[in-house]
Structure 1
């Protein structure tokens, strides 16, 4: 099966959970045309080397990509979400049902994140992530590798002239933990979700 020209991969929450995620977890084979729609072996990209993630988006020229990720858990309930350049900050958790609008069969959940760069790190753009996991009636499905699907959206292009600091380079941060941009008002006021998130972070300080 070949994907036709112009096709854009935009599955809904039920398709991500009930087709792509559960079949990956239980190791069911995918048809040929579906093998590369979600990137695999990217554990060190999503929750690791942020430069690799930005490079993938630059090379594909896409603003939304999907990744299979094997979570690295610090404890039974805590996942390592910090890298050299910032933190994936959790926002909210939403249940996924197989039968909307009736919502009687809870099959999974998705958690939203915003990437918050450390002070002194510039040129990252704006990043939003949705992490899909099996839940509800599939909560006890064997998933020894802790596999989830991460949908990542890049909301502003990375400026080529603004390079990320190299690995091992000293970067100094202040206590705010947020990158400063000269176009803050222009970039953020059009996205109420992002404004609300920043407000909650600032209140915490």
Structure 2
């Protein structure tokens, strides 16, 4: 699909669009496919392998995945891969469509190694899920849509060296 887009156009949906257009359709019809978002088991892939699995994207990649439960009867999510684990940072952000809560956004950072001694990487994931009262939401098997990207270390250090001054 990206090859068919004119130069300068990118797939860059808003948080609300990811939930209301893509995730809602995936949850209501598991056979729903998107040219821009592919199904991937994120626990079986290292973040640096994900760009090759994506159907499009240069700096950020999008995936549908089922949340993997840590224990068969529990609700805790397994976020470990062979090389490391995704760790939640901060609290979840509510995503609204107008005044209606449609979903939640969780931010995770990938750490190489095993908790609690993992080494923080620059890989970041934004995981979007439907809000709890959604009619299609199941309790055990839950689809999410994720945006994966590498946080720019240069931009971070650049912003610290040159604070923005409003004149």
2:65–2:144 contact (8 Å) kept in structure 1: yes
- 1:60 deviation in Å? 6.4
Q: Mapping of 1:115-130 within 5 angstroms?
A: 115-118=110-113, 126-130=122-126
Q: Distance in 2 between matches of 1:136 and 1:86?
A: 29
Q: Could you list the per-position Cα deviations for residues 90-126 of structure 1 after superposition, in whole angstroms to 9, with x for gaps in the alignment? A: 0131011111xxxx3111001000111228x99x961
Partner of 2:37: 38
Helix, strand or coil at the partner of 1:82: coil
Q: Mapping of 1:105-116 within 5 angstroms?
A: 105-116=100-111
Q: How high is the TM-score relative to the length of structure 2?
A: 0.73
- Following TM superposition, where does structure 1 have runs of at least 4 consecutive aligned residues deviating by more than 2 angstroms? 1-7, 51-55, 57-61, 140-145, 186-192
Helix, strand or coil at the partner of 1:68: strand
Partner of 2:25: 23
- 1:4 deviation in Å? 2.5
Higher relative contact order (CA 8 A, sep 6+): 2
- 1:77 deviation in Å? 2.4
Aligned match for 1:70, one of 46, 52, 66: 66
Cα 1:15–1:106, aligned 2, differ >3 Å: closer, same or farther?
Answer: same
More strand per residue: 1 or 2? 2
Q: Distance in 2 between matches of 1:96 and 1:69?
A: 19
Aligned match for 1:11, one of 8, 13, 17: 13
Helix, strand or coil at the partner of 2:38: coil
Q: Could you list the per-position Cα deviations for residues 62-113 of structure 1 after superposition, in whole angstroms to 9, with x for gaps in the alignment? A: 21000000111014321111122222110131011111xxxx3111001000
Structure 1 residues not aligned, in runs of 5+: 157-183, 193-205
Q: How high is the TM-score relative to the length of structure 1?
A: 0.61
- 1:188 deviation in Å? 5.4
Q: Which has the larger radius of gyration?
A: 1
